Structure 1
């Protein structure tokens, strides 16, 4: 299962890199098309792979995004980890560099995660910084793929892994990769 997932991710990354490998060499940034038909609302889901406490934890992210300007969007999202470690809800702001549907973006996010620790529930805030790209595989398609890397910091109570009776490992910092599919 893990090997198949690694092969799938490698193939997806290879297709993404192959599609855009010569884009900036062939076409200067200033000459790139700056407008296309932007729909204001998109929704979809992502596979989220989050690294913390020495291992990768997969989850699923569902999101609804509203593009209120050609370079700015806001989305509301929810994340559930397959391992049940935590649930997350939050909001993101994205800045798109060219203002086109197929574009690189910078993401700033604020969210709250919910987890249980020592028979108590906690709901600490989390801040996130990410960089990604929206990819159209077909020119007139009404869907896109999204790939993003991010880092986040949990403010307050950290995630904990019990290592024994007296030893606990804590994580405030997490890093991750999102691979998604959006309809617009």
Structure 2
């Protein structure tokens, strides 16, 4: 099953890379359309695949985003892994390159992660850097698809996994791929 998950994750990553591969070559920045009607609020959810401690952990992320400028937005989110390893609450700032609804963006985030280790609860901060793209499938659609790759670092107590009776593996660094839908 682990091999199947790795193959699925690799195929999904290749599809994402292929869709972005020629974007900047095919459509120069100066010729890109800049007229777009942006709504200030959008709500949605994402399926996230988080990689840490040598395994991929699926989870879900719910978010509410406010676009206060055509190039800038802020969103509040909550995330949980299906395995229950941790829960996360945080805020993100996104910078959109062209300022349109269908656009590439850079994400900077800060959050707090809640997990248990040795029967104690921890709530360390986490910083995140990501790159993604919002895609609209139809010209007048009121929803979009978001694909994002990000890396994050937990400051303080690390995530742990029991190896055997005497040793634990620790992880401060995680990598994730998110795929979601947002309504605006």
* TM-score of the two chains, using structure 2 as the length reference: 0.91
1:130-149 CA distances to partner (integer Å, 9 max, x unpaired)?
00000011111000000000
- 2:169 corresponds to 1:169: yes
Report the equivalent of 1:81: 81
Report the equivalent of 2:39: 39
Report the equivalent of 2:148: 148
1:5-41 CA distances to partner (integer Å, 9 max, x unpaired)?
96598469638845x6654334321110123000000
- Unaligned runs of 5+ residues in structure 2 are none
* TM-score of the two chains, using structure 1 as the length reference: 0.91
Within 5 Å, which residues of 2 pair with 1:94-173? 94-173=94-173
Question: Partners of 1:104 and 1:162 in 2: how far apart?
Answer: 39
Residues matched between the structures, number: 183
Over the aligned positions, Cα root-mean-square deviation in angstroms equals 2.2
Question: Partners of 1:163 and 1:127 in 2: how far apart?
Answer: 27
Change (3 A) 1:157 1:144: same
SS of residue paired to 1:69: coil
Question: Partners of 1:125 and 1:62 in 2: how far apart?
Answer: 19
Question: Partners of 2:37 and 2:109 in 1: how far apart?
Answer: 26
Change (3 A) 1:77 1:165: same
